[in-house]
Chains A and B, each alone.
Chain A
């Protein structure tokens, strides 16, 4: 009898487990009517969390407890994609990278943020908000203001007697002079590894030559040898052939180049570096041997300062979120100007987020700059306000990941000598044409 009861109990438990496993949904009811206090929300980002004190204060103020998970960026994108494809709950607030905006927007995978908070009011102070708009909807709110910017090692430039350049011609001649002078053997860092950083570098160099890579209909604009995109690709590959770039850079990623070349004084300049790198790496004595030697430079353009392409990370609310309104309250708090200044260390390291790059609010950047707590802050604030622009004026297309993969594999092959620049450009253009035609 006892045995028979045990068997029945096990079978019932098995059925319950099986049913629980089958119930992959996010719960019953209308998510937008879910409570906004006394709830725990899951936040999954590729970032360290704010301090415990800050999160506790947020909980005390709102009744929302935050369960923070820090996942590396690449894994996070795969997890988000899997969750979106399966339409299952993943998090209440998670990463929306600028490059995924078109894809996530088309999939209608995230709540339009303008329905959950007043995005119009923040537009003036957050210029990169346009990079997060797809189909007229704001897919995510930028929580940092990463943008491409040129960095130079002023000591090496001074040692070689080269003036700070303002145009691409001056920049190129300067690099050649530094090499000839022998200040460094290879003056320019271009990360030619087949990874996203190479695509970003090409977009920024294309901007410097006065153009964009795709038009507003997402058709390629770089097939003509006289076009900015073509010139940019040719300039990058020529830099390798002319010995301006270390030969080993064929397999160096953007972060590797920053850490092992720029931060070690092995190169004189990175044309398309990232905003905030001086404060977070080059001036950090623990990981840099060029402290106080590196400067931000207005992008040397075709005939004067060029644009700075935005590549920020944002945070949004997935459609499968259990507590979307509570998540929106958190996002508003997390991305507010005053808190971003805290995350960047304006009120000391206790409140700062380790590795936080640069606030997305211009006012927060200006605050940091005025208090002298942001290296190169004045220049960065100016660039963020005036020259920072989205890489794709109409937002990243939904097929961006496939396009970008063709960009970086083709440019990598061209730099490695496996194909000509012309063939690389043709491969990229063919992919863009096929994808923009819906193929």
Chain B
């Protein structure tokens, strides 16, 4: 809302003829507290449930916090060195890096393709978009259970389809037998969940691109591929960057899908699963906090890198 300021010297600030002079109380009125009071509950909520726990976790990462073996005491970077010596954790780091690489790449590519497919208006477009975002609305555990029925080696739908069309003569083991295949299949399930959100974010950017640019390009004889490469992709970068960051955050924190589909097996265990094991099974909260801090820092650094590499300010 536009505001106007009275720039006249104070000596000129006299009441208009016929209007009463303002009282001293009104003239000396202090700052208006109402906006602060209205915002206060939200501020308390955010500080209490986000900032304070984050600071607490950050500090506790440098303490030995073992519920089974008190007391809590400062131990410097011991939690971090212990994590570095944990072979299962190192394996989970590699697994998580693979989840991130596959997940961010696939969800971005598929998200752009989905967004392009629904960019133009057509009959039933709203229904298609609604159906498209359905996997995103489902909880990860539910998706894991659904896909368990697809990948299952004894009674799975995928095996059934492969044998029906004659591609294999007996049921194959997909999950658990080979580490990289297991990671790929688990990540496909997560991509199925997060690609719709990527599509919506990219779609929002696509809608902003002026149609005149495409018309001009068509007049200049550009091919569809050329228009996509020289107009769409450069102008959709803000949406792609946001989509990639959300995919990065979700894949870096993957838990439900590997836990439901592959149990605690090291072939697919992720970093957040290790945080859960260390904190809630081993009851070593100090190391749990330390690992959470590592994941947070990794998320921030990687997100920053994606924004620097992909995001470009776009003006039409």
Contacts and interface: CB of A to CB of B under 8 A. Distances in A.
Contacts of A260: 152, 154-155
Interface stretch (A6-14, A110-118, A134-142, A149-157): A6-14
Given A3-B34, A106-B68, A82 B263 contact: no
A195 B176 contact: no
B198 to A, nearest CB: 29
A416 B267 contact: yes
Contacts of A248: 152-154, 156, 171, 173
B33 A7 contact: yes
Interface in A411-427: 412-413, 416-418
Nearest to B159: A248
Contact of A81 (B48, B69, B283): B283
Interface stretch (B118-126, B189-197, B274-282, B295-303): B274-282
A257 B53 CA distance: 41
Interface string B128-154: 000000000000000000000000111
A120 B155 CA distance: 49
A253 interface: yes
Interface in B257-314: 261-267, 276-277, 280-283, 285
Contacts of A438: 69
A401 B276 CA distance: 12
A437 interface: no
A81 B68 CA distance: 11
Given A78-B280, A248-B152, A194 B262 contact: yes
Contacts of B154: 246, 248-249, 252, 260-261, 266
Most buried by A among B41, B69, B263, B277: B263
Interface in B33-73: 33-34, 37-38, 40-41, 44, 48, 67-69
A438 B276 CA distance: 21
Contact of B281 (A3, A252, A401): A401
Contacts of B37: 6-7, 10-11, 14
B266 A21 contact: no
A416 B179 CA distance: 10
Contacts of A193: 176, 262-263, 265
Interface residues of A, number: 46
B177 interface: yes
Interface string A368-379: 000000000000
B175 interface: yes
Interface string B99-125: 000000000000000000000000000
B280 A194 contact: no
A18 to B, nearest CB: 6
Contacts of B173: 247-248, 250-251
A124 interface: no
Task: State the majority secondary structure of interface residues on B.
Answer: loop
B67 A253 contact: no
A193 B261 CA distance: 9
Nearest to B265: A194
Contacts of B266: 194, 409, 413
B271 to A, nearest CB: 16
Most buried by A among B69, B153, B156, B179: B153
Contacts of A310: none
A418 B282 CA distance: 25
Interface string A18-34: 10010000000000000
B44 A251 contact: no
Nearest to A106: B68
A107 B155 CA distance: 43
A42 interface: no
Contact of B263 (A194, A247, A261): A194
B172 to A, nearest CB: 8
Contacts of B41: 14, 17
A416 B68 contact: no
Contacts of B276: 78
B177 A250 contact: yes
Contacts of A21: 48
A84 B68 CA distance: 11
Contact of B40 (A14, A84, A416): A14
Contacts of B156: 248
A103 interface: yes
A251 B144 CA distance: 13
Nearest to B179: A418
A408 interface: yes
A405 B153 contact: no
A102 to B, nearest CB: 10
A85 B177 contact: no
A401 B67 CA distance: 14
A402 interface: yes
Contact of A409 (B179, B261, B264, B280): B264
A401 B44 contact: no
Given A78-B280, A412-B176, A103 B68 contact: yes
11 contacts: A10-B38, A14-B40, A17-B44, A107-B68, A251-B152, A251-B263, A398-B68, A402-B281, A405-B277, A412-B176, A417-B177
Given A11-B40, A17-B44, A412-B265, 15 more contacts: A7-B33, A14-B41, A18-B44, A85-B285, A192-B176, A195-B264, A248-B171, A248-B173, A250-B177, A251-B176, A251-B261, A252-B153, A409-B264, A416-B267, A438-B69
Interface of B: 33-34, 37-38, 40-41, 44, 48, 67-69, 88, 152-156, 171, 173, 175-177, 179, 261-267, 276-277, 280-283, 285
